[in-house]
Homo-oligomer: A and B are copies of this chain.
């Protein structure tokens, strides 16, 4: 349906809308917006064929700031709206923007189903472990004990792990990054290149209602000891100088963090990342000392909108040109004269 536009060299400016950005000063959403606006031109995207679909939340204001097509829908339903859009026009490059409340609370079911169907979309979930827009209630990713206006004595809800929910749903691309990480660009690029539903969790700081929850991971000083950036086929090492790594304990079937050179641990003991192994991805979703970042899991698989197009073509071949006149006359008819 979409016309083939003359190729043009787009810049970040071309993806920036004329609307004033209305997030709180210091909000992590700014960094994510900048990363997306910066990355899109390099991926060959064009403003007219790119669409951002969001639900409701601070994060879901995102489309207004992109000079692309955009739809700020209703709370939790962006994956379903995006699915419908892809059904109408599979040529479009569709991104879903959601939050930990929008995508995992009210919208959890749509996320589950868009992932299992493997509709070709990029889904960016901004996880700030809080409901920002409604002024700071705990969310499905908030830690137990979190004191908020709706949990004055501390939350008793066990949080979900977004990447684990995605794997449980059958997602075929699962990645994680954080708002200010320079590797966010890589994650976005990989997500865009993957055919099918790409799920990217982005840890995002909300300075107003949940300041610093990710500091241990994202801080320049403490970060390196807690960031494990994954690369397919490379040993899983982390630490300021890559001095630590992950090993599989063969007896307990659990991953453990070890230090190279200590207790006789050598490079050989460090597990190599295989992004196609679902069990490994599962283990990486929750580690004790460190957070796995980058692409946890990636696996090609049948893409919903492609299968649908194929089925449509097959039907056309099989049933021929649509003929409403004939359709109405299928079965038994009779003539009154």
Residues in chain A within 8 A of chain B (CB atoms): 105-109, 112-113, 116-118, 140, 144, 153-154, 156-161, 164-170, 248, 250, 252-254, 274, 277-280, 282-283, 301-302, 304, 307-308, 311, 314-315
Smallest distance from the beta carbon of A131 to chain B beta carbons, Å? 15
Copies of this chain, count:
2
A241 to B118, CA, bound (A): 40
Which one of B159, B170, B254, B279 lies within 8 Å of A283 (CB-CB)?
Answer: B279
Contact at A304–B156, with CB atoms within 8 Å?
yes
A–B complex contacts, Cβ < 8 Å, 17 sampled? A105-B113, A108-B108, A109-B112, A113-B140, A116-B160, A118-B158, A144-B302, A153-B315, A156-B302, A157-B304, A158-B302, A160-B170, A165-B169, A166-B168, A253-B279, A254-B277, A282-B282
A167 to B169, CA, bound (A): 10
Apart from A156-B307, A168-B168, A279-B279, 17 more pairs, CB < 8 Å: A107-B109, A108-B113, A109-B109, A109-B112, A113-B140, A116-B140, A144-B302, A156-B311, A158-B170, A158-B302, A158-B304, A165-B168, A166-B168, A250-B250, A253-B280, A279-B282, A279-B283
Contact at A153–B112, with CB atoms within 8 Å?
no
